[in-house]
Amino acid sequence: MASYNLNINSKSYTVETTEGTSLLWILREHLGLTGTKYGCGIAQCGTCTIHIDGKPSKACMIEIDSLQDTQKITTIEGLSKDGDHPLQQAWVAAQAPQCGYCQSGQIMQAAALLESNPNPDEAEIKEYMNGNLCRCGTYLRIVKAIQLASQNNLAGR
Amino acid sequence: MKPIIHPMNRRKFLKSSGSVALLIGVSGILPQVVSCTDDKDLHEYLEKHNITSWVRISKDGQVTIYNPAAEMGQGSMTSLPAIFAEEMDADWNLVTVEFSPQESAIYGSDGWGPNGKIMLSAGSRVTSGYYPIMRKAGAQARHILMYSAARHWEVPIEAISTRPGTVIYAEGNKELGFGELIPYLEIPETFPEFGEGELKDPNDYRLVGKDLARTDIPAKINGSAQFAIDVRLPDMLYGILERGALHGARPTLENEAEILTMAGIQKIVPFDYAIGIIGTTLEQTLAARKKLQISWSDAKASGFNSREVFQKYEKIADQPEGGQILVEKGNFKESLRTASKTYRIDFKNDYVYHAQMEPLNAVIQLAEDGRQAEVWVGSQQGFDSKLGIPEALGLEPVKVKINLQYLGGGFGRRSMTDFTTECALLAKQVPGRPLKLIWTREDDVRYGAFRPLSLQRITAAIDSRGKISGFSHLVVGDGGNLVASGIRNEFYEIPNQFAELREESEGIRLKHWRAVGHGPNKFAIECMIDEIALDQGREPVDLRRELMQQSPRALATLEEAVAMADAYGPVPDGRARGMAFLERSGTLSTGICEISVDRATGKIRVHHFWSAVDAGIVIQPDNVKAQMEGGILMGISSVLYERITIENGMVQQSNFHDYQILRMQDIPDSVEISLLDSRELPQGVGESGTPLVACAIANAFAKLTGKRLRHLPFTAERVSEVLQA
C-alpha cells in the first residue's frame, strides 16, 4: 500500500492503494467518480476517457504511480459546473444517448476535439471519435451533437 | 364516461389492488390512511399493505410516475409514463419518473401469455405489453381526482373535467391543481371499467405521438446516471469469478492456500464451473485472480470446433428424417413435385456476442442475520422478478428487495440471471457486508451466452406460371426458438409452406440476442426471394409487391422505403442497393441499403440505409427512430465484423481487440427512418432494425458483384474469398 495525491476536477484527493492500480479503479471505486466507466480495461472502447492536463486519456491504462500531483485530471463530473458545456447541451438537443453507458467517454473525447479543433468536419469528427465504442448505435446522433456544439460555440464567439 | 360496471367497495379495492392499477399519493390520496412526506415511509406502507402505486402527487403539483420496465436505452423511462400521463391528464412539465418496485404480481404485464404477470423487458414487448395497463391506470388516477373534486364541490362528477394538471368545474367557474386537491382526495366506492370507449381517443393525444425529451438523458450526460456497476456502499467487498474459456468445465484450484495469503483476500468460493474470490478492494481481488492456478476438466464442448460444424449440419440437413415441424401450410412436397423449377440454397451464420457496454455485475447485501437481502442490479428482469436470488440465498422472495438501476445495454444478455445468482452465492459468504460482483470484459466475452450458429436450408418451388408455389425452411442449430424465431412468412402469399427445426447441441452457452433468430432466418428468406427474382428475370421489388398483395400494411412499408431511396436519385457508380422486408415483434419494416465494396480488401461499406416502419400507434416518434437507427447500426456491426469462434471447445475471443464492433469511421453517411401512420395497437421496435441489415447488404452485394454472400458475418476476408471464387 502507498499513498498518492491527485488533483481531480480542481480538488485534491489522497488515496491509499497498491502500486500499479489503474486510475480507473481509483476514480470509480475509491473516490466515487463513477461517471467514468469501465468497458474493456485495454484502451479499446473509450468509456473511461478523461482529460489529463486537457489531453484525452484512457483512465484504464494509467497506473497511479505514473501520475504527478501537479497533473490536472478532469472527469465528466468536472467538465462543466452545471452540466451545461456546449457539448452537453447539444447531446440533449440531439437526444443522443440510449443506454448512456459510453456517453461520458464520448463527451470527454468530443470536448478534447473541440478544444483542439473548434470546427471539425465530419471526417475529422469520425476519425477523432473512432476509439469510442457505442453498442446502442448512437454514433449518428453523436456526430450531429458535436456539429451542433461546434456551431453554437462558433456562433457564441 | 359510462356508469360503473364493476362495483367494488373501498376495502376490497385496497386489498385486491394487485389486479387493479390504482393510485396512492404521498400526503395525498387516502390522506386518512397514509400521510407520508417521506418516500421511504410510503414505500414501507405500500409494501406492508400490498397496494399498487403507479403515481404519487405532492402538494406543489409534482407528479411522480412509476416505470415498471427496465431502461436499457429503449426509452421506457419516458414512453410508459407518457402513456399514463396522457390518460391522467398530467402536466408533463411537472412529471418525474422513477422505477417501480420489482414486484411482478403488482407491476407485471400479462402481455407475455398465460403464465401470469411478469416483469420482463425483452422481445420488444414493453410498449405493447404495458400500453393497455398504463392507459387504464392513468384513467383511474384521473377518475379519482375528478371524483374527489366533485365531492368537494358537491356537484355530479359528470360536471367535472380536466386540463393538464388541473381539475375543472366549468359551470361553477372553479378549478384546482392536482396538488391542491390533496386535502380532499377520496377513493370512490366504485370505478368505471375503462374499456376502449372510456379511454382517450388516440386522435386526441397530446403527449403520445409527440416528441418528449427523454427523462433519462440529463443524468446520462453528466455522469450522474447510476448503473449497478457504479453502486458503492460502506464496507463493500468485491467478487470476481474465474470461469475459464471452456463452457461447462469443472475447476480444481491448485493453490488455494497461496491465494488466501494475498493482501485483502477474504474468501475463496468454489462453483461448479468457476472459482470465486472475495477481496477487500477491486485491485486486490483482480491481482489474486491472476495468480489462480486451476486445472479444468473436460466438458461437453471439448473437441468442438465452430469452423467445422457446418459439415455436420449439412449432413443433418441431408437426412430425410425430420425434426420439429414449425410450419405446415398447404402441401409443400406436392408443390415440389409439380414445380417447373426448384431452388435449394444453404445459408449459415456464426456465433455472435452481446457486447453490451456495461459488463455484467451486481451488488448484493445479505443482512447480518441472513434473513433478508437487498440487491442493486441492471436487469431485463424475467419470469422471476427476484432474479433467482431468493433460491440462492434460501430466502422467501418477499425478503429480497431489488433496486433496479439503469442498464448499460441489455440486448438479451441481461435477461439471464447467471450473474445475479453468482453474486448472491458470494454475498452469502459474507453476511452483513455488501458485495459487488464484476465480470471483466474478458469474463463477459469468454463466458458469454451467444446467438447460436445455424444452418438454414431453403428450398423453393416455382410453378408453371412462374409463381413461387412452395417455400421450405429447414434450420439446423441449437437453442430451440433462439434459432427458430423469424422462420414464418405470414406476409408473403405463398400457398405451400413448410418449416422445420433440427436441433443439435454443442455445449456452448446460448441466449437471446437482439432480434433472436430473426437475424439469420430473415437473412436466408430475404436473400432467397432476391435470388429467385433475379433468376426469373424479375426485379426483386416487383416480386415482393406480388407476394404482398394480401398484406397491405407490409406493402405500404415497401413502397415507402422505395420512395425514400428513390428520393436520393440514381445509384452512383460503384454502388448498389439491396432490400429486405420483415416482421419482428409485430412491427413491419422494409429496409434498403446502398453499399460499395473495396475489391482489393473485401471491405464492404454501407453508405445509406432507409427504412419504413409500421409499428402501430407510435408513443415517441423520435425515440422509435433512434431505436431503428441504433438497431440498424448494430445490424451493420454484427453483419460485417462480429464472430465468436470456438476451438477445441474454447472461446477464442476475449475483448474488443479481437471481437470488433462497429466504430464511428465505418458508420453510414445517413440512416433515414419513416414511420407510417397507424391506429393499430403499438408494437415493438427495439429489434426491428437489426435483422434488416444482413439481407439488404447481401442483396446489394449480389447486384453490385453478381456474387452471393451466404455466410454471416461478411468479414473482409470472407468477402474477398467470395469475390475471387
pLDDT per residue as tens digits for the range B664-712: 999 999 999 999 999 999 999 999 999 999 999 999 999 999 999 999 9
pLDDT at B3 over 90: no
Rounded to whole angstroms, the Cα distance separating B395 from B493 reads 53
How deeply is B557 buried, as exposed, middle or buried, from its count of CB atoms within 10 A (0-12, 13-18, 19+)? buried
pLDDT in tens, B157-212: 999 999 999 999 999 999 999 988 888 877 787 778 888 888 999 899 999 999 99
Containing B598, the helix (H) or strand (E) segment is: strand B587-598
Q: Is B439 at the interface with chain A, CB within 8 A?
A: no
pLDDT of B648: 96
CB-CB neighbors (< 8 A) of B410 in chain A:
99
- Residues 372-431, chain B: which have Cβ within 8 Å of A? 406-411
What is the distance in angstroms between the Cα of B667 and the nearest Cα belonging to chain A? 7
CB-CB neighbors (< 8 A) of A1 in chain B:
263
pLDDT of B16: 27
**What's the grid cell of residue B84?**
399514463
Is B232 in Cβ contact with A32 (below 8 Å)?
A: yes
Select from A77, A80, A98 the least CA-distant residue to A142: A98
What is the distance in angstroms between the Cα of B307 and the nearest Cα belonging to chain A? 26
pLDDT of B187: 77
What does chain A come to in residues?
157
Rounded to whole angstroms, the Cα distance separating B194 from B1 reads 8
CB distance A87 to B394 below 8 Å: no
pLDDT at B77 over 60: yes
Residue type, B212: L
Residue type, B663: R
* Distances from the Cα of B48 to the Cα of B213, B385, B495, angstroms: 35, 18, 58
Is A135 in Cβ contact with B411 (below 8 Å)?
A: yes
Lowest mean pLDDT, pick from B20-24, B321-325, B694-698, B701-705: B20-24
What is the distance in angstroms between the Cα of A21 and the nearest Cα belonging to chain B? 6
pLDDT of B40: 53
Of B281, B358, B663, the CB nearest to A101: B358
Which site among B121, B220, B435 would you substitute to test the A interface, given the most A Cβ atoms closer than 10 Å to its Cβ? B220
pLDDT of B45: 53
CB-CB neighbors (< 8 A) of B284 in chain A:
18
Is A101 in Cβ contact with B357 (below 8 Å)?
A: yes
pLDDT at B430 over 80: yes
Q: What is the DSSP string of B117-137?
A: -BEE--TT-HHHHHHHHHHHH
Q: Which residue has the cell 430425410?
A: B320
**What's the grid cell of residue B713?**
458475418
Is A45 in Cβ contact with B357 (below 8 Å)?
A: yes
- Residues 566-625, chain B: which have Cβ within 8 Å of A? 622-623
**What's the grid cell of residue A121?**
468536419
Q: How confident is the model at residue B105 (pLDDT cuts 50, 70, 90)?
A: confident
Is B661 in Cβ contact with A133 (below 8 Å)?
A: yes
Of A18, A41, A129, the CB nearest to B440: A41
% pLDDT > 90, chain B: 81
% pLDDT > 70, chain B: 92
Q: How confident is the model at residue B319 (pLDDT cuts 50, 70, 90)?
A: very high
pLDDT at B213 over 80: yes
CB-CB neighbors (< 8 A) of B283 in chain A:
17-18, 21-22, 25
The single-letter DSSP state of residue B344 is E
CB-CB neighbors (< 8 A) of B222 in chain A:
35, 76-77, 79-80, 83, 88
Select from A128, A125, A130 the least CA-distant residue to A144: A125
Is A98 in Cβ contact with B74 (below 8 Å)?
A: yes
pLDDT of B31: 28
Instruction: Give the nearest chain A residue to B663 (CA atoms).
Output: A130
Is A91 in Cβ contact with B217 (below 8 Å)?
A: yes
Rounded to whole angstroms, the Cα distance separating B276 from B439 reads 11
Contacts A–B by Cβ distance under 8 A: 181
Is B657 in Cβ contact with A126 (below 8 Å)?
A: no
Q: How many CA atoms lie within 13 A of A14 on its CB side?
A: 3
CB-CB neighbors (< 8 A) of A104 in chain B:
223
Residue type, B330: G
CB distance B630 to B689 below 8 Å: yes
Which site among A33, A63, A64, A135 would you substitute to test the B interface, given the most B Cβ atoms closer than 10 Å to its Cβ? A135
Q: How confident is the model at residue B580 (pLDDT cuts 50, 70, 90)?
A: very high
Over range B111-119, report the average pLDDT.
Answer: 73
pLDDT at B52 over 80: no
pLDDT of B214: 98
Select from B267, B242, B262 the least CA-distant residue to B427: B267
Of B627, B629, B655, the CB nearest to A40: B655
pLDDT of B226: 98
pLDDT of B43: 55
pLDDT of B101: 82
Q: How confident is the model at residue B349 (pLDDT cuts 50, 70, 90)?
A: very high
Query: Who's near B387: CB < 8 A, 6+ residues apart?
Result: B375, B377, B379, B381, B402, B417, B420, B421
pTM of the model: 0.94
Which site among B210, B221, B633, B692 would you substitute to test the A interface, given the most A Cβ atoms closer than 10 Å to its Cβ? B221
Rounded to whole angstroms, the Cα distance separating B112 from B98 reads 23
Is B224 in Cβ contact with A99 (below 8 Å)?
A: no
What is the distance in angstroms between the Cα of A154 and the nearest Cα belonging to chain B? 22
Q: How confident is the model at residue B115 (pLDDT cuts 50, 70, 90)?
A: low
pLDDT of B113: 67
Over range B640-652, report the average pLDDT.
Answer: 97
pLDDT in tens, B120-153: 888 888 999 999 889 988 888 898 899 999 999 9
Q: What are phi and psi of A113, to 5 degrees?
A: -60, -50
User: B56 pairs with which residues across the strands?
Assistant: B64
pLDDT at B26 over 60: no
CB distance B371 to B399 below 8 Å: yes
Q: What are phi and psi of B152, to 5 degrees?
A: -65, -45
pLDDT at B624 over 90: yes
Of B221, B223, B232, the CB nearest to A29: B232
Rounded to whole angstroms, the Cα distance separating B646 from B648 reads 7
Q: How confident is the model at residue B47 (pLDDT cuts 50, 70, 90)?
A: low
Query: Who's near B41: CB < 8 A, 6+ residues apart?
Result: none
Is B662 in Cβ contact with A140 (below 8 Å)?
A: no
How many contiguous H segments (helices) and E segments (strands) does chain A have? 5, 5
What is the distance in angstroms between the Cα of B601 and the nearest Cα belonging to chain A? 20
CB-CB neighbors (< 8 A) of A131 in chain B:
663
Long-range pairs of B248-251 with CB within 8 A, sequence gap ≥ 24: B248/B273, B248/B299, B248/B300, B248/B301, B248/B507, B249/B273, B249/B296, B249/B297, B249/B298, B249/B299, B249/B302, B249/B649, B250/B296, B250/B297, B250/B299, B251/B275, B251/B294, B251/B295, B251/B296, B251/B297
Q: How confident is the model at residue B44 (pLDDT cuts 50, 70, 90)?
A: low
CB-CB neighbors (< 8 A) of A22 in chain B:
283
For chain B, percent helix, then strand, then coil, each to nearest 5?
Answer: 35, 25, 40
Query: Who's near B7: CB < 8 A, 6+ residues apart?
Result: B189, B190
pLDDT at B444 over 60: yes
pLDDT at B37 over 50: no
Q: How confident is the model at residue B57 (pLDDT cuts 50, 70, 90)?
A: confident
Is B218 in Cβ contact with A76 (below 8 Å)?
A: no
What is the distance in angstroms between the Cα of A104 and the nearest Cα belonging to chain B? 6
Q: Is B18 at the interface with chain A, CB within 8 A?
A: no
Collapsed DSSP state (helix, strand, coil) of residue A58: strand
pLDDT in tens, A17-67: 999 999 999 999 999 999 999 999 999 999 999 999 999 999 999 999 999
pLDDT of B36: 40
pLDDT of B204: 93
pLDDT at B12 over 50: no
pLDDT in tens, B396-408: 998 999 999 999 9
**What's the grid cell of residue B596?**
460499395
pLDDT at A110 over 50: yes
Rounded to whole angstroms, the Cα distance separating A91 from A143 reads 10
The single-letter DSSP state of residue B339 is -
**What's the grid cell of residue A66?**
505514473
Over range A116-131, report the average pLDDT.
Answer: 98
The single-letter DSSP state of residue B229 is G
Is A92 in Cβ contact with B218 (below 8 Å)?
A: yes
How deeply is B572 buried, as exposed, middle or buried, from its count of CB atoms within 10 A (0-12, 13-18, 19+)? exposed
Over range B235-262, report the average pLDDT.
Answer: 97
